Amino acid sequence: MATSTQASGPPAAAAAAATSATAAATSSPSAATPRSDSPTPLVPITPAAPASVRSVVVGLGVAAAAVAVGVVVERAGRGRPVVQAATTAVTTWAVVGAAGLATQGTELARELEEGRLEPARGTLSELDTRVADGLGLIALSRASVETLAENTSEVVVAPLLWGALAGVPGLLASRTISVLRRAARGSTGRHHWAVERIDELIHLVPTRAAAGLTVLAAPVVGGSAGGAWRAWRRDTIAHPSPNAGRVEAAFAGALEIRVGGRTVYPHGVVELPVLGVGRNPDAGHVTRAVELSRVVGWLAGATSVVVALTVGLRHRKG
């Protein structure tokens, strides 16, 4: 999560960063997305420098190219069920980061349980942009639950739902926009504003779907479905972002803990609303958050199958 700070550098560097980040995300199924959901104030649209205009054009061009590749792949598989199934499976494997998220989350939980805080800070930094130096057990546990929740929505639920709705192009577009937002993080201007708004739009439905699936999944890990529902509906009203905090609140309510509050990032301190009620989290809650993330991913997979079948039947009738 990060608020905007002034960026500098030639547009070619921004384009290269966005392109390389996209390639890395779509080629590595184990890479989870660092959280980027901190409240980012809307930057007024002012006359932008030519570099900003070129940056947004390049960013949107990368997204369009990813969609175009997806369209070509889908058309190549039409009338060939085996080819279509194979290409969709490979794309899903490359884009959805559920396996990597579970691995990193399990490693983080083990380090916290064993009291190895320094390695835990390093593992957390791979998933989250906050400053982990100096964080104690409670703060590390809180940050771990928050980032597991957010990544469950961004790298698992969102690609699956968009893939169900729009096939391979939907998978690639969802992931590409998320990567572009990471590449634009720490910059200001029209290009940053545009990427932020597109990212919010892309994740508007998946974020809420992930929160709803968390409510359903809570009892499976011994959590509270009612607590997840109440925290989601009650606490996220105070959050300035239309998406950020929804899944974190649901996770907190399911585990009957509190997350949010004062968080330190490289650019400064952010005061986030407190989400959930109950005790402060510990290493055991991180372990349960990993299991909750897995169950939400399974439910998201089942939901995406139903959505895809529904969309397919409508197309046939049409």
Inform me whether the pLDDT recorded for 214 exceeds 90.
Answer: yes
Establish how many alpha carbons lie within 13 A of residue 13's alpha carbon, considering only the half-sphere containing its beta carbon. Answer: 7
What's the average model confidence in pLDDT over 189-196? 70
Tens of pLDDT, residues 113-151: 999 999 999 999 988 888 999 999 999 999 999 999 999
What's the average model confidence in pLDDT over 166-178? 78
Determine which of 71-85, 137-151, 279-293 has the lowest per-residue pLDDT on average: 71-85
Give the model's pLDDT for residue 179: 73
- The dihedral of CA 199, 152, 21, 264: what is its sign? positive
Contact, 163 vs 147, CB < 8 A? no
Confidence of residue 234 (pLDDT cuts 50, 70, 90): very high
Give the model's pLDDT for residue 247: 95
The pTM is what? 0.73
Cα 69 to Cα 71: distance, rounded to the nearest angstrom? 5
- The DSSP 8-state label assigned to residue 270 in this structure reads E
Residues in contact with 81: Cβ distance below 8 Å, sequence separation at least 6, in sequence order: none
Confidence of residue 188 (pLDDT cuts 50, 70, 90): low
Cα 93 to Cα 311: distance, rounded to the nearest angstrom? 21
